[in-house]
Amino acid sequence: MTDEAQGFEIEAPAPLRRRQLRRLLDRRGLAIQIALLIVIAGLGYGAVFNAVQNLARAHVASGFGFWNNTAGFDISQTLIYYSASTSSFGRAFWVGLLNTLLVAAISIVLATVLGFAIGIARLSRNYLLARLAGVYVELVRNVPLLLQLLFWYNAVLKSLPELRDSLVLPGGSLLNSRGLFLPRPEFAPGFLAVVIALAAGVVAAIAWRALARRRRERSGVELPVFWPALALVCGLPLAAFVLAGLPLSFSFPVMGRFNVRGGLEILPEFAALTAALSLYTAAFIAEVVRAGVLSVSAGQSEAAHALGLRPAATLRLIVVPQAMRVIVPPLTSQYLNLIKNSTLAVAIGYPDLFQVFTGTVLNITGQAVEVVAITMAVYLTISLVTSFLMNLYARSTAVVER
């Protein structure tokens, strides 16, 4: 994979770029570059040509015609409509892709929050807290992810009660070895007002923050930001919710003979995969964060203290902004690893893209080349998009040289 995909793209210093360009335009260099390009293109063409010929000779079906054929198999978790009898292999692909994105997105958020907390805890002056964080990092970082995944899956499964002895949690939720069943919110049409109020609240909070900032820069008077913002973001939707006549009801899970009916189902496979991915990646992120914070020289904090900034303000205004520049590139790498590691879902039967598409669909259609190529392209795209977004963020926090 290229450096860019790994998220290590660091702006090359200008002289180096110019030197590369000069070497490219130099005649001998140009010839070498062209020759290399031809060799690579030739190899690529040879591989494709050879594959097509061999497939034809072996009478293996090829092409993408299978995409619209009926799938005929069931999937345990579907975020969009899917039916074994009518949906196509293409639909199964989207179901798998969404499941991958769901588990990756949730795990990235959890891993980031946990990773930052542990990374900071490791630098804490509280001896016990720092040691505990250290033990966590060393323990989790040094045990293979697959092993942790199986541990979580079997630990989650084995310790939960059977269906008949389901734990009834407060609020009408059920917990058993088949998963966690939450009441499913059913939105009445009036709920749209709440969503609009929430959006308005967020916009108003941002505007308030900008206003407070301008006031502070002009007059030095600090206006409170946090509490008013919270009031706007939470209060407005709440008011709208009451005014619209409480447009929300819940469908509660009910015990059937074999399974729980109704409600919102969280599969144990999903829970185990999310737990393993986020806990594992959090250990790496903690180290990245620790390195980032340590990279900010102590002189910066001392100077801030000398200027009279309180410790919290020092951390927020001086240390974190500088540490982020060091943290973001390796953090991107961790995110990409997490996304790719989500393919371990096959081991525990979570229907992610790899399990559904490269597993069942490949096997039914037998078209390994097409299916593997599509899967590779999809993971590459997800990784490149993630990398691109992180690079955008890195650029926005980069030092502006004057």
b/e string for 293-322 if b means 16 or more Cβ within 10 A?
Answer: beebeeeebeebeeeebeeeebbeebbbeb
When the beta carbons of 163 and 175 are compared against other proteins, the nearer one is 163
Question: How far from 279 is each of 32, 272, 366, CA to CA, in Å?
Answer: 47, 11, 36
When the beta carbons of 146 and 243 are compared against other proteins, the nearer one is 146
Amino acid at 328: V
All residues at 6 or more sequence positions from 249 whose CB lies less than 8 Å from its CB, including other chains: 185, 186, 188
When the beta carbons of 37 and 60 are compared against other proteins, the nearer one is 60
Q: Is 337 in the site for other proteins (CB under 8 A)?
A: no
Site string for other proteins, 83-122 (x = CB under 8 A): -xx-------------------------------------
Among 8-16, 25-33, 254-262, 331-339, the segment contacting other proteins (CB under 8 A): 254-262
Q: Which of residues 46-65 bind other proteins (CB under 8 A)?
A: 47-48, 50-51, 54-55, 57-61
Helices (H), 187-319: 191-219, 226-230, 236-243, 268-295, 298-306, 311-314
**CA–centroid distance for 65 within its chain:** 32
Rounded to whole angstroms, the Cα distance separating 273 from 271 reads: 6
Q: Is 351 in the site for other proteins (CB under 8 A)?
A: yes
Transcribe 99-144 into DSSP letters. Answer: HHHHHHHHHHHHHHHHHHHHHHHHT-S-HHHHHHHHHHHHHHHTS-
Q: Is 214 in the site for other proteins (CB under 8 A)?
A: no
Q: Is 81 in the site for other proteins (CB under 8 A)?
A: no
How many residues interact with other proteins (rule CB under 8 A)? 55
Q: What is the DSSP letter of 345?
A: G
CB of 359 to other proteins, least distance (A): 5
CB of 84 to other proteins, least distance (A): 4
Binding site for other proteins (CB under 8 A): 47-48, 50-51, 54-55, 57-61, 72-76, 84-85, 146, 154, 157-158, 162-163, 177-178, 256-259, 261, 268-269, 343-344, 346-349, 351, 354-355, 358-360, 362-369, 372-373
